[in-house]
């Protein structure tokens, strides 16, 4: 299982990591890992019934009305003459939406998710988003990642605070969470034993195997006195080397014939699957999928404008569908819940470039065996007629995205510290999770 050919010195690292870091780490105890900014919390207890969470952020402001088409709203078609997706019952041969109910349908690019939807394991939520009205990518994304609108001072993320207020799924786990990202996403900031690892299969320390042990000892001592998060990062990274070398990423075999798209995102979810199935105590994974800032020639219809957004959707839905078949219908020690959100939706009406500018209300997804899916959740559809739009141009947000996340955090991740994870928010559960 473990490929020895390209990681000389790993054996030393593995043994030294245990000896010098795990042992020392244990001396600190769990409390030492708790950041001082945490208010009083009740630590969520470890439980085999707790789910692992995979959080996907569609960065750029995804045009949710192209993913999940409100074909029952006539204003959708009048506002989008060049980029809309035809009704499921439309005449002609053009590509059509696939009905989810009598009002909403998947774009053709989302078709691979139909099995998860019809099985009742995929929940689609619409007209969701942040209660903050910012149409700035960076502010909107930041408020969603920290889990609190309009707070410029909060530096930690909602998932980071979930981790900080729950006992580890496995007490010996060297790594509890990772971002499959080039740096640590704000969502995960504040989480103990959490690292950005853009390529888990390439996570190693170079150099002579003969001196690996001595060098690691040097660095352990050196980084022990560093400020945080630099010190903890070094400790976690060193421990994680050994962990990841026990996992065969390149030879990973999927279950149920699942095929992940050979793209960055597809490979990220495939790596996630390998990590989850190896049962090493990873309990949260965060990934980005970009390319959604479709101001021009968005190509949400197949065959138009190089099918640009259609292909983005296929990448998203293909990876999620593979993950569904491989992980959620496969064998895992813990259950898995996956959520997909974006910073905001886009204008109800297309612009002169056959694209859409920054908007508000959007689609979100939750997937898992314990998700109360197979339906499109709305808090009464606000409508796309001009008089119903926010600022005359955008789908209103009638469903706080935190309603979805908070219910999952409490009911599937077993953490009741919602006032810490989502400060100044009154939880409003909407039967996202099965009773």
Partner 1 sequence: MPTPTDVVTREQDGPDTGTTTPPSRRRFFVLGAGAVATLATTSATTAQTGFPRGKPIKKTQPAGIRPDPSTEWKDPLLRLVRRITMGLAPAEIALARQLGYAGYLEYQLNASAIDDSVVDARIAMQMPLLSQTADQLRQAPDGGEVYNQLADMTMYRAAFSKKQLYERMVEFWTDHFSTLYDKIGHFKVIDDRQVIRPHALGKFPDMLRASANSAAMLYYLDQASSRKPTPNENYAREIMELHSLGADGGYTQNDVAQLARILTGWSINYNPGTFVFNFGNHDTSAKTFLGTNFPATGTNAAAAAAMKAEGDTAITMLINHPSTARYLSLKMAQWLLAYTPPAAVVDATAAVYTATGGDIKAMIRTILSGKNVMASPAKYKRPFHLITSSVRSMVTEVTNIRAVRARLSQLDMESFYWEQPDGYPDRVSWWSGLVTQRWNWATYISNLNSATVARVNTVASFRAPQDNAAGVINQINGRLFGGEMPRALGSALQAYLMAATYNDARVRETLALAVSSQEFQWY
Binding to partner 1 in span 112-141, by CB under 8 A: 133-139
Whichever of 74 and 207 has its CB closer to partner 1, that residue is 207
Q: How many CB atoms lie within 10 A of CB 30?
A: 13
Q: In this complex, which beta carbon is closest to partner 1, that of residue 88 or of residue 353?
A: 353
Cα(137)–Cα(143) distance, rounded to whole angstroms?
10
Per the DSSP assignment, residues forming a β-bridge with 31 are: none
Indicate which single residue of 295, 369, 375, 434 sits in contact with partner 1 (rule: CB under 8 A): 295
- Told to check if 241 binds partner 1 by CB under 8 A, we report yes
Q: In the complex, what is the shortest distance from the CB of residue 210 to partner 1, in angstroms, rounded to a whole number?
A: 9
Site size toward partner 1, by CB under 8 A: 84
Residues 267 and 201: their CA atoms lie apart, in Å, by: 11
Long-range contacts, 7-11 (Cβ 8 Å, 24+): 7/204, 7/245, 8/209, 9/205, 9/207, 9/208, 9/209, 9/212, 10/204, 10/209, 10/241, 10/242, 10/245, 11/209
Least CB distance from residue 400 to partner 1, whole Å? 20
Q: Which stretch binds partner 1 (CB under 8 A): 62-70, 83-91, 250-258, 285-293?
A: 285-293
Q: Is the peptide bond before 229 cis (omega within 30 degrees of 0)?
A: yes
The answer to whether 22 contacts partner 1 (rule: CB under 8 A) is no
CB of 227 to partner 1, least distance (A): 3
CA nearest neighbour of 215 among 5, 8, 24, 9: 9
Calpha distance 421→167 (Å, rounded): 15
Q: Does 418 bind partner 1 (CB under 8 A)?
A: no
Considering only residues 22, 41, 75, 114, which one is a binding residue for partner 1 as defined by CB under 8 A? 41
189 sits near partner 1 (criterion: CB under 8 A): yes
Q: Which two tokens stand for residue 288?
A: 């980005």
CA distances from 400 to 65, 297, 430 (A): 17, 30, 11
Cite the beta strand spans of 130-208 per DSSP E: 177-179, 194-196
Provide, rounded to whole angstroms, the least separation between the CB of residue 145 and partner 1: 11
> CA–CA distance from 244 to each of 15, 241, 271, 346 (Å)?
14, 5, 11, 39
Query: Which residues inside 207-236 make contact with partner 1, applying CB under 8 A?
Result: 207-208, 211, 214-215, 218-219, 221-223, 225-231, 233-234
Question: For the window 55-84, what string marks contact with partner 1 as x by the rule CB under 8 A?
Answer: ----xx------------------------
For position 48 contacting partner 1 by CB under 8 A, the verdict is: no
Only segment of 118-126, 288-296, 322-330, 425-433 that touches partner 1 (CB under 8 A): 288-296
Q: Which residue's CB is nearer to partner 1, number 26 or number 385?
A: 26
Q: Among residues 35 and 374, whose Cβ is nearest to partner 1? A: 35
Among 24, 32, 246, 419, binds partner 1 (CB under 8 A): 32
Residue among 280 and 325 whose Cβ is closer to partner 1: 280
Q: List, in sequence order, every residue forming a beta bridge with 106; answer none if it has no partner.
A: 68, 98
Strands 52-58 and 284-289: parallel
Map the footprint of partner 1 across residues 146-175, applying CB under 8 A. Answer: 152-153, 155, 167, 171
Asked if 385 interacts with partner 1 (CB under 8 A), we say no
Binding partner 1 (rule: CB under 8 A), the pick from 353, 398, 416, 430 is 353
Q: Does 29 bind partner 1 (CB under 8 A)?
A: yes
| By the rule CB under 8 A, 6 interacts with partner 1 | no
**What gap in Å lies between CA 77 and CA 74, rounded to an integer?**
6
One residue of 357, 400, 403, 407 binding partner 1 per CB under 8 A: 357
Q: Which is nearer to partner 1, 179 or 281 (CB)?
A: 179
- Please give the DSSP secondary-structure letter assigned to residue 362: E
Region from 38-46, 85-93, 247-255, 257-265 binding partner 1, contact rule CB under 8 A: 38-46
Residue 349 touches partner 1, criterion: CB under 8 A: yes
Residue whose tokens read 């870091």: 21
CA-CA-CA-CA torsion sign (195, 49, 319, 105) = negative
3-class SS of residue 178: strand
Name the residue nearer to partner 1 (CB basis): 344 or 365: 344
């Amino acid at each position: 299982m473990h490929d020895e050919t390209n990681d000389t010195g790993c054996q030393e690292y593995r043994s030294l990591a245990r000896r010098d870091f795990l042992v020392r780490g244990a001396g600190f105890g769990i409390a030492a890992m708790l950041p001082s900014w945490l208010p009083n919390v009740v630590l969520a207890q470890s439980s085999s019934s707790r789910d692992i969470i995979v959080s996907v952020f569609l960065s750029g402001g995804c045009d949710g009305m192209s993913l999940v088409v409100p074909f029952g709203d006539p204003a959708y078609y009048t506002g989008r003459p060049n980029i809309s997706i035809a009704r499921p019952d439309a005449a002609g041969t053009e590509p059509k939406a696939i009905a989810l109910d009598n009002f909403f349908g998947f774009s053709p690019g989302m078709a691979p998710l139909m099995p998860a939807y019809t099985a009742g394991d995929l929940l689609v939520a619409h007209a969701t988003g942040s209660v903050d009205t910012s149409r700035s990518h960076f502010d909107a994304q930041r408020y969603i990642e920290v889990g609190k609108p309009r707070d410029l001072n909060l530096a930690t993320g909602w998932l980071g605070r979930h981790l900080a207020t729950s006992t580890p799924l496995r007490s010996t786990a060297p790594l509890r969470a990772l971002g499959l990202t080039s740096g640590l996403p704000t969502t995960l900031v504040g989480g103990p034993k959490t690292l950005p690892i853009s390529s888990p299969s390439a996570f190693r320390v170079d150099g002579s195997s003969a001196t690996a042990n001595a060098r690691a000892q040097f660095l352990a001592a050196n980084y022990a006195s560093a400020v945080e998060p630099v010190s903890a990062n070094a400790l976690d990274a060193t421990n994680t080397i050994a962990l990841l070398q026990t996992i065969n990423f390149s030879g990973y075999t999927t279950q149920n014939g699942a095929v992940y798209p050979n793209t960055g995102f597809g490979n990220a979810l495939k790596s996630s699957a390998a990590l989850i199935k190896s049962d090493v105590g990873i309990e949260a994974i965060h990934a980005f999928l970009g390319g959604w800032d479709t101001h021009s020639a968005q190509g949400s219809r197949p065959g138009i404008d190089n099918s640009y957004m259609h292909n983005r959707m296929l990448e998203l839905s293909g990876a999620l569908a593979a993950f569904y078949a491989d992980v959620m219908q496969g064998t895992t020690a813990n259950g898995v819940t996956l959520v997909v959100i974006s910073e905001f939706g886009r204008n109800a009406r297309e612009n002169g470039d056959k694209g859409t500018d920054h908007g508000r209300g959007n689609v979100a997804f939750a997937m898992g065996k314990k998700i109360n899916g197979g339906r499109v959740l709305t808090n009464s559809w606000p409508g796309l007629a001009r008089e119903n739009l926010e600022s005359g141009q955008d789908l209103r947000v009638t469903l706080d995205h935190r309603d979805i996340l908070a219910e999952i955090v409490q009911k599937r991740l077993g953490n009741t510290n919602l006032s810490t994870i989502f400060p100044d928010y009154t939880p409003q559960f909407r039967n996202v999770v099965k009773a």
